[in-house]
Amino acid sequence: MQRTLIKDLHAAVGREVAVQGWVKAIRDQKRVQFLILRDPTGLAQATVERSPEKAVLNDRIAVLTRESAVTVSGTVVANPIVKTGGIEISIRDLTVDGPADRLLPIDVSGVQEPNPEIRLNWRFLDLRRPENLLVFQVQTVIEHAMREYWLQEGFVEIHSPKLMGSASESGAEVFTVEYFDRPAYLAQSPQFYKQMAMAAGFERVFEIGPAFRADPSFTPRHATEFTSVDMEMSWIDSHEDVMAFEERWLQYALERLRDRLGTQIHDTFDVDVVVPAVPFPRLPMADALKILARRGHTPERAGDLDPAGERLLSEYVAQELHHQFVFVTDYPAAGRAFYHMRHEHEPALTKGYDLLWNGIEVTTGAQREHRYNVLVAQAEEKGLSLEPIQFYLDFFKYGCPPHGGFGFGLSRMLMVLLARPNIREVTFVYRGPTRLFP
């Protein structure tokens, strides 16, 4: 018999169905046995009376365990008393397809919240909780909407190599791996390769893929492996074009998300998906620091925001400008990558920006320096050795258009969007400095 999803049971009253899912609860009473079944679409009650004719079935249910994977067949019956939708399945037969051990290592029912370490150890069980499934349904809708928007705008999807012969970023720590008889490095970002696509004349590209950072960062928003959402576009006038693209792109993705899953997100996480108005507020770094100073906060490092500063600035933007997002622009060159373009009349400042969303940095973007000589000079100024990145510098020697782009943290977005406390529970399988399993 074809499987019926739990969400469709209400349309099958009076019919024989087969439901497949997990046993959430068993209430085995003297006269009647009740099962609460869970599949990805919802919960349903299944019932059978104890009787001599049903002895085999009754006995099977008597030894059934929670979280076993089962197939239940029976007739859908309307019964207004039943809390799971006013319908239940009168069980004709039950097959245990995958039995579960009696003692579960963590509570899947949601009554208790095991500590984070144990939840990650038993991630596949933790993920059975409906709210965790929703996180990844949200991720799916967002990624899909982002791709839709890019396709409408003529972008080409690329997949850049994750094994590299030299480090892709100046500062960030890099993982070294054995590559036959020599070392290789895991890509810290697709930066060099999306710029290569600009030199190749692709004009507009995007990539959603893994990035690796060997930073021993112990915060709720860092991972050693994460999914980076990247794009790069040619023939721009300035980083303003990149920001103008990003805000419309995010607006589109969030609008699609609100329409598709807004109600479910509200019911599950008690947060409303807000479709942001464009343009997003823009604040040059110098102004941002003045605002923070007025609010009594001065970051330790000159010319940059610390995490507390990012939170306070977002608070200011929410209160005064009524927006969840803010572009912080015109970062000092000292703190930015060598390939960020500088302002013509203010070479100490870059055409680089960060995007803050409710106090968390979700994007770094910039117009890139595409003039070979200027780029080399900036690399030398940062003390970089040119030889390992010569292949990259060569991109700019044979006719590369002006261009810019950004990198966007997918899990950070989910974390902020769904108001989750850390990146680990919105990452399918988290990787951190001390976490390589499961």
Residues 75 to 94 in contact with RNA, rule: CB under 7 A: 79, 81-84, 88
Instruction: Find the binding residues for RNA in span 176-235 (CB under 7 A).
Output: 189, 213, 215-224, 226, 228
Kindly report the length of the chain: 438
Strand order in the sheet with 176-179: 163-164, 182-186, 176-179
> Is residue 378 near RNA by the rule CB under 7 A?
no
Residue from the set 1, 14, 97, 115 that interacts with RNA by CB under 7 A: 115
**Between vectors from CA 231 to CA 229 and to CA 236, what angle results, nearest 5°?**
155
Residue 368: CB minimum distance to RNA, A: 13
**CB closer to RNA, 262 vs 405:** 405
Confirm or reject binding of residue 124 to RNA (CB under 7 A): no
**Rounded to whole angstroms, how far apart are CA atoms 33 and 91?**
10
Is 36 a binder of RNA (CB under 7 A)?
A: yes
Residues 128-187 interacting with RNA (rule: CB under 7 A)? 171-172
- Exposure string of 27-46, with b = 16+ CB inside 10 Å and e = fewer, is eeeeeebbbbbbbeebbbbb
CA-to-CA distance for 189 and 193, rounded, in angstroms? 9
Residue from 2, 53, 103, 294 that binds RNA (CB under 7 A)? 103
Strand, coil or helix: 79: coil
Structural tokens at position 257: 């998300």
Site for RNA in 289-348 (CB under 7 A): 299-301, 304, 306-308, 310, 335
Output the smallest distance, CB 163 to RNA, in A.
19
Pick from 4, 234, 363, 378: which binds RNA (CB under 7 A)? Answer: 363
Contact range with RNA by CB under 7 A, out of 3-11, 107-115, 286-294, 322-330: 107-115
Which region among 132-140, 195-203, 242-250, 405-413 touches RNA (by CB under 7 A)?
405-413
**Residue 88: strand pairing partners:** 45, 77
Q: Which of 68, 195, 329, 411 binds RNA (CB under 7 A)?
A: 411
Return phi, psi of residue 400, to 5°. Answer: -110, 130
Total residues contacting RNA by CB under 7 A comes to 78
Strands 156-157 and 204-212: parallel
Strand partners, 43: 38
Please report whether residue 8 would count as binding RNA according to CB under 7 A.
no
In 3D, which of 199, 210, 194 has the Cα closest to residue 150? 194
Q: Of 78, 118, 302, 386, which one interacts with RNA (CB under 7 A)?
A: 118
Q: Is 403 in the site for RNA (CB under 7 A)?
A: no
Do the bridges between strand 156-157 and strand 42-49 make them parallel or antiparallel, or are there none, so unpaired? unpaired
**Beta strands 325-329; 282-284: pairing state:** parallel
* 240-279 residues near RNA, rule: CB under 7 A: none
Residue 438 interacts with RNA (CB under 7 A): yes or no: no
